[in-house]
């Protein structure tokens, strides 16, 4: 988690290269292309660092879950006796929700990365040389960004591949294509944890996640407990953690979090979010809308679907 602050800073301070890219498209001079390429390269390096951090989280979260869900004791006992580890899992969830909130508000990420991949593809084609009399066109059919062998954009193809190889670019593209990429990674890691640890009853994992979500909801619904929060950020922390837990529970439980038999009061969670100012709640409501697994299934009560309607 020591790295998480710098990763959040990367995404919070992300400005994008939209202006330079638009100029390179509308006026495809050597100078404009060079300026756009120079603007995009450091941004792609930022995106790579964020993506690689998601891989670190993917590796560590199953280890935390194993300590909280395995062993001879009940999940409640483990939660009670390993509160420091519970707090660490909560901090992971808060980071993930924070990151995805910023990502959803930054469409420049996908635009920049798309431009990077198109340009890189053209550079590779120009280094091999197009067939005689043939002009290479990118996947979008435009040629104004085409780069010929006379281009000198300040970065050799080898330098660029040191930044992001083609294989890594494919993985990053899939990662950033999702509305909430960090949550997707975390959800898949949790699902995989359950599938690969048949010796740990699935009920242990769902009870662990469900109990933590209940505690969060109880804290937020209690005026006395809320009064003890010295900073508004603490309340936001608990809100994010609660939403993250509901999403993970929905991915792990066979019937999901929305059915009546669920161990999570999703209706209470959503109503609580709806009572918050939109600036505080909209990103979290979107995470529930777009990252849960069972929301749109027939078994989900209509009142919950209506509550979560965008």
C-alpha 116/C-alpha 45 separation (Å) is 11
**Residue with the two structure tokens 């690969």:** 196
Mean pLDDT of 13-18: 94
Helix (H) or strand (E) holding 301: none
In this prediction, residue 120 carries a pLDDT of: 83
Mean pLDDT value across the chain = 85
pLDDT in tens, 136-168: 333 343 333 333 333 444 444 445 545 677 889
Neighbours of 51 (CB within 10 A): 21
Mean pLDDT of 278-301: 89
Check pLDDT > 70 for residue 39: yes
Instruction: Of 26-30, 158-162, 249-253, give the lowest mean pLDDT range.
Output: 158-162
Is residue 209 a contact partner of residue 243, using CB atoms and an 8 Å limit? no
- State how far the alpha carbon of 82 is from the alpha carbons of 65, 66, 286, in Å: 11, 12, 31
Q: Give me 69's structure tokens.
A: 């869900």
Neighbours of 168 (CB within 10 A): 14
**Residue 152 φ then ψ, to 5°:** -135, 85
In this prediction, residue 159 carries a pLDDT of: 52
| Confidence grade of residue 280 (pLDDT, cut at 50, 70, 90) | confident
pLDDT in tens, 47-81: 999 999 999 999 999 999 999 998 888 989 999 99
Instruction: Of 224-233, 246-255, 259-268, 281-290, give the lowest mean pLDDT range.
Output: 224-233
Residue 18: burial class (beta carbons within 10 Å; 0-12, 13-18, 19+): middle
Which of 113, 95, 134, 123 has the alpha carbon at shortest distance from 42?
113
Mean pLDDT of 259-274: 90
């Amino acid at each position: 988690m020591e790295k998480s602050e710098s990763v959040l800073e990367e995404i919070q301070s992300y400005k994008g290269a939209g202006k330079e890219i638009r100029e390179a498209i509308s006026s495809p001079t050597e100078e404009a292309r060079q300026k756009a390429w120079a603007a995009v390269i450091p941004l792609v390096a930022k995106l790579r660092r964020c993506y690689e951090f998601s891989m670190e989280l993917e590796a560590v979260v199953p280890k935390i879950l194993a300590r909280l869900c395995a062993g001879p004791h009940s999940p409640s006992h483990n939660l009670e006796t390993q509160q420091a580890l519970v707090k660490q899992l909560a901090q992971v969830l808060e980071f993930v929700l924070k990151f995805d909130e910023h990502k959803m508000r930054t469409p420049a990420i996908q635009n920049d990365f798309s431009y990077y991949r198109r340009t890189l593809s053209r550079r590779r084609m120009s280094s091999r040389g197009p067939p005689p009399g043939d002009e290479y066109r990118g996947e979008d059919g435009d040629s104004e960004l085409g780069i010929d062998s006379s281009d000198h954009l300040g970065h050799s193809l080898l330098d660029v591949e040191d930044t992001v190889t083609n294989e890594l670019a494919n993985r990053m593209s899939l990662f950033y294509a999702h509305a909430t990429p960090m949550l997707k990674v975390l959800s898949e890691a949790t699902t995989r944890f359950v599938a690969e640890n048949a010796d740990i009853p699935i009920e242990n994992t769902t009870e662990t996640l469900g109990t933590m979500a209940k505690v969060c909801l109880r804290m937020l619904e209690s005026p006395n407990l809320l009064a003890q929060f010295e900073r508004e950020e603490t309340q936001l922390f608990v809100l994010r953690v609660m939403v993250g837990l509901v999403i993970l529970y929905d991915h792990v439980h066979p019937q999901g979090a929305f059915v009546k038999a669920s161990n999570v009061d999703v209706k209470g969670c959503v109503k609580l979010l709806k009572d918050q100012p939109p600036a505080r709640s909209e990103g979290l409501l979107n995470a529930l809308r777009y990252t849960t697994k069972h929301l749109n299934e027939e078994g989900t009560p209509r009142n919950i679907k209506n509550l979560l309607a965008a």
